Each structure stands twice: as structure tokens, then as C-alpha cells.
Structure 1
Amino acid sequence: MNPLFSSIRILWLSSCLLLSSQFSQAQAVYFPEAGADWAQRQPAELGLDAQKLQAAVDFALANEYSGPRDLRMAILKGFEREPYHEIIGPVKKRGGPAGMILKNGYVVAKWGDTRRVDMTFSVTKSYLSTVAGLALQQGLIASVHDPVASYVWDGTFEGAHNSLISWDHLLTQSSDWSGQLWGGYDWADRPPRQGGLDEWRARRLNPPGTVFEYNDVRVNVLAYSLLQVWRKPLPQVLKENIMDPIGASTTWRWYGYENSWVTLDGLRMQSVSGGGHSGGGIFISTEDHARFGLLF
């Protein structure tokens, strides 16, 4: 495993369950060939308790997300408190529960349609952080502690506060970046229960690196900044460097918003989103998620 991937400190959340275990260096880890059916093993063959595994599967099936399968309705309801929130990226109705449990790469339990493509919301952040790791590996970013303003000079990081923000701050969601991107304001993303528009707009900014806050506008700022560094669409970067080499299917997609198109080097390209907060993000199957997860 490339150590750069493990250095990116964004928690990987996935719709598929991957169980890690220690194994000796002499023990081979299976990785499925592209297009092949995923090899399965009985739990007992790999030292696992079949009854406990089945209990985990039963729990997953019995605890499906309670919101509507029409995710447009679920998104609008979930973020109804946010000022100016709207859906501006693609949305897809979800399927039922689906997942896989792997041991040494082999499937020891699975449920649902593991090849169905669904929205995966903030799982997208794991793919985004991987693209950042690749930029670091290839020397496009010299250090995660560099100020992003030295790479992106179009005004996105202007000002006494934003100019101090580093790549590390964006990756750890501790930047407290202040501004507006693709119609979304940083202060309007998951606002506090107390106060109103005037208080939220005039809030005191935290020094970069001091306070963690989950904020999709700032994650989209990271995606936009990486697009400026790579100078080509991030889905293309991911496909060429990760998804094709690991044998992922051709069914996954990574979307941005209807208004997140920019021109770089005379070419029109879309800045993708880091989740499905306003639509968009990674649409992918459980099996392709699992291939990606085996890298870690």
C-alpha cells in the first residue's frame, strides 16, 4: 500500500463493510480480476464464526436507512434548515441494503445487489483525498502544509484568513474557509441550531487548523483546488490512476453541479463535488467500493 494513501486523514466511510485482519506475510491476499465474479469462501475456512457473521448481515438488512428511496426527497428534507439549499447535481433513487464482508480479499458474506450503482454521498471524500494523495506523490503539491493560495491564485484564498489555509487544513476539515462556491455559502452549510442569518454571516472565524467542522462547501473548495492543480477532470485522474488499475467496472460516475463548470487551458471541465449534499458526488456499486477499499 502506498504510504501516501494512509497519510490522508479523512475517515473512510463506505456502504460496504470491510473487515480487516492480521495475516502472515506468507499468506496471500486475494484480489479479483477485472470483470470476474468475486471468489467466496465459507467463514470457517478463514477462521470466522458463521453465526456471528449472519447476525451482522441480519442487522444490516433489518436497519435500512429510514428515509425515502427517492433521494431527492430525502436530501431536501435532510437539509431543509439550510438557507438557499437546492439540488444542483444529479440524483438517483436508491436500491435496498447491499454490502459485502471480506476476509483476506475473499467474500465471506454478502447481501443485496452488490453490482447496483447508487449515490454514496460522503464516501466520495475518500476518493477525493486519494486524488490529493496522488497529486502529492506526483509532485503537483510539494507539501500538504503549503498554503493553497500559492497554487490557486484566482481569489478563492484571498484575505487574511483564507490565505493561511493549507492543503492539510482542507483535508482535515479544519480550514474554516470563508466564502461562496457554486452558490453555496460556508456559513449556510449545517448552520447552528441557535441564531439566524445575521449571526451566521457575522460569525467569528477560527484560525485554520484549530477547529474541525464537517462542511461540504469547503470539501468542494478542496475539489476545485485539486482541479486547478491537476488541470484535468478529477474523474479522469481517478480512472487512470486508481479505478482502471484495480479492475473496477465501467459503471461508476463522479459528478459535479450544473453550475460548477470552469475553463482550464482552453478546455471546459466540471469541478466535481465531494458528496451528495446538493446532488452529485460518486455513484458506484458495492463491489467497486470494495475493490477501492482493499487498497487501504
Structure 2
Amino acid sequence: MSGSYYPTSWDDWETRRPEELGLDSAMVDEAIHYASDHETPFARDLARRIATSVAGKKCDDGEVLGPTRPRGGVNGLVLKDGYIVAEWGETRRVDMTFSVSKSYLSTCAGLALDDGLIRDVHDPVGLYVKEGHFDSPHNSKITWHHLLQQTNEWDGTLWDKHYSAGNTDDVLLEPKEPGTYYEYNDVRVNLTALSLLNVWRRPLPRVLKERVMDPIGASSTWRWHGYRNSWVVMDGLRVQSVSGGGHWGGG
């Protein structure tokens, strides 16, 4: 939009009083108080919360595999025309972002397609990944499109988690024909991360940093973790395959 203000960095982000930009200060304050008074009941001790959430499941061993950190309290910004008109809480705090990692994965996939590392999203992933995860008659049908749409129905175990552990309903479902059934499943999302690592041949956080975060002027405080057991050897180097969420820590 013509005339819009864009901050060059967090430290240089300019502020304005609400009235300067046509907002009502009293209503802005009311919105902030409402947000502050309605904090999520989700526990701040995320290590305990994650462990508790998976410990009682039939299809999961309950083991947290990646790093966690306690979450902060309610915080936020109100922006108008690019300017900060209100701010409350610890807005500079680094918190876990859980399934935001899935957006990072899709970004890395899009860049791989742009660069020709993936020729066609409808190609079988087994044409690119030769580590055995797509060798079976069932898994060999899985395409990049299936992985990215979470319709892949992959059958197997990854990082000591059987695919059924990623089922949010805690139900052991027999894999269906790839491309015919949608299931939100973090084990299979982690397989997407490993598959993308195989085509990039370097850590996905580095790809994201060089191709997206640095060019847009993002902070350097973000991190993207995998699990303690998600290390692989890639072209003679030990590389961690990241996770697509914080379901078992990491992300």
C-alpha cells in the first residue's frame, strides 16, 4: 500500500499514539485489558504439559524427545499503518511456536520447487529419498503433494515414534491409500522434514535463515530444533532433522 510505514528492524520500530492514527485510546486499552484477563489455561511449564498430554495415550510411549521451554504470559502489539500504537507483556520473549514450524516446512518445500530440487510436487518422494522410508509398495505411492497435504498415509516408525503416535485422536488406524484420506499427524510431518533435508542436503534452519529470515530482516533469536535422536549423516556430516511442531518438544 502506498505510503505505508515498514520498520527496518525491531529496535527501530516507531510508535504512535492511537489518536494520531485515528484510533480510540480507551477502546485500545479495553482490548488490551480483555486480552490480559483471558490468558489461556494452558500450563506455563510446557515440558510437564507436553509429557502429561502424551503419557496417557495408548499409541504413544509418552517420551518427550526435543527441547522445551516454559511459555511466557500474555503479550502483544497493536499495529496501525505499520506503527506500534500499543504494546504489553514480554513481546521480545522467545517462546515455542509449535505448529508454526509446519509453515517453515512448506516454505522450504516451495523454495526447493523454485530451485528445481523438486521437479514436480506429484513426483513420488521415493525418486528423491533413498533411505528406505518409501520402499514398500504402499509407501512408494506417496508424492510430495501427499506429504504437504497430510494425505500421505505413510506406514512406518520415525525417531522411535510409530505413525499412530501422531494421531491426535489416539486411535490406531490402518493406513489408507495415499492421497485419499487427510490426517493431521506429526510423525508424518516429521517425515516431510526429513525428506526435505534429503533434497536440500543441508540443515533446513540454515535454508530458512538464508532465503527468508535474513532477507526480510527477521531477528536472530529464533531457533528450529529437532529431537535428540533425529540426527542423520548427510554427505559425511552429522545433521539434525528438525521437527514440524512441538508435539514431543523441539520445533
TM-score by length of 1: 0.77
Out of 30, 37, 55, the residue aligned to residue 12 of structure 2 is 37
Match of 2:207 in 1: 237
Amino acid at match of 1:70: D
Offset from partner CA, 1:141-182 (integer Å, 9 cap, x none): 112222111111211112222111111211121211121110
SS of residue in 1 equivalent to 2:227: strand
Q: Does 1:259 align with 2:234?
A: no
**How far 1:67 sits from its partner (Å)?**
2.8
**How far 1:136 sits from its partner (Å)?**
1.2
Write the distance in 2 (CA, Å) between the matches of 1:212 and 1:128. 18
Q: Does 1:185 align with 2:185?
A: no
Write the distance in 1 (CA, Å) between the matches of 2:112 and 2:24. 41
Q: State whether residues 119 and 276 of structure 1, in contact with CA within 8 Å, keep that contact through their aligned partners in structure 2.
A: yes
Write the distance in 2 (CA, Å) between the matches of 1:230 and 1:150. 14
Write the distance in 1 (CA, Å) between the matches of 2:79 and 2:166. 36
Write the distance in 2 (CA, Å) between the matches of 1:250 and 1:210. 40
**How far 1:213 sits from its partner (Å)?**
1.4
Equivalent residues, number: 249
Out of 141, 144, 148, the residue aligned to residue 171 of structure 1 is 148
Write the distance in 1 (CA, Å) between the matches of 2:54 and 2:247. 8
Write the distance in 2 (CA, Å) between the matches of 1:137 and 1:47. 42
Offset from partner CA, 1:26-64 (integer Å, 9 cap, x none): x23332213533223344554555555444433322222
Write the distance in 2 (CA, Å) between the matches of 1:49 and 1:167. 48
Q: Does 1:74 align with 2:44?
A: no
**How far 1:228 sits from its partner (Å)?**
0.3
Match of 2:243 in 1: 273
Structure 1 residues 107 and 209, CA gap change in structure 2 (3 angstroms): farther
Write the distance in 2 (CA, Å) between the matches of 1:227 and 1:159. 21
Aligned residues: percent identity? Answer: 55
Taking the TM superposition and a 5 Å limit, the aligned residue runs for 1:36-115 are 36-48=11-23, 50-82=25-57, 83-115=60-92
**How far 1:265 sits from its partner (Å)?**
0.9
**How far 1:223 sits from its partner (Å)?**
0.5
Offset from partner CA, 1:52-99 (integer Å, 9 cap, x none): 544443332222221321111111122233321211111111111122
Q: State whether residues 74 and 89 of structure 2, in contact with CA within 8 Å, keep that contact through their aligned partners in structure 1.
A: yes
Q: Does 1:126 align with 2:96?
A: no
Write the distance in 2 (CA, Å) between the matches of 1:166 and 1:101. 41
Highest relative contact order (Cα 8 Å, sep 6+), 1 or 2?
A: 1
**How far 1:110 sits from its partner (Å)?**
2.8
Match of 1:22 in 2: none
SS of residue in 1 equivalent to 2:105: helix
Write the distance in 2 (CA, Å) between the matches of 1:115 and 1:99. 10
Write the distance in 2 (CA, Å) between the matches of 1:193 and 1:275. 17
Match of 1:161 in 2: 138
**How far 1:125 sits from its partner (Å)?**
1.1
Match of 2:120 in 1: 143
Structure 1 residues 167 and 55, CA gap change in structure 2 (3 angstroms): farther
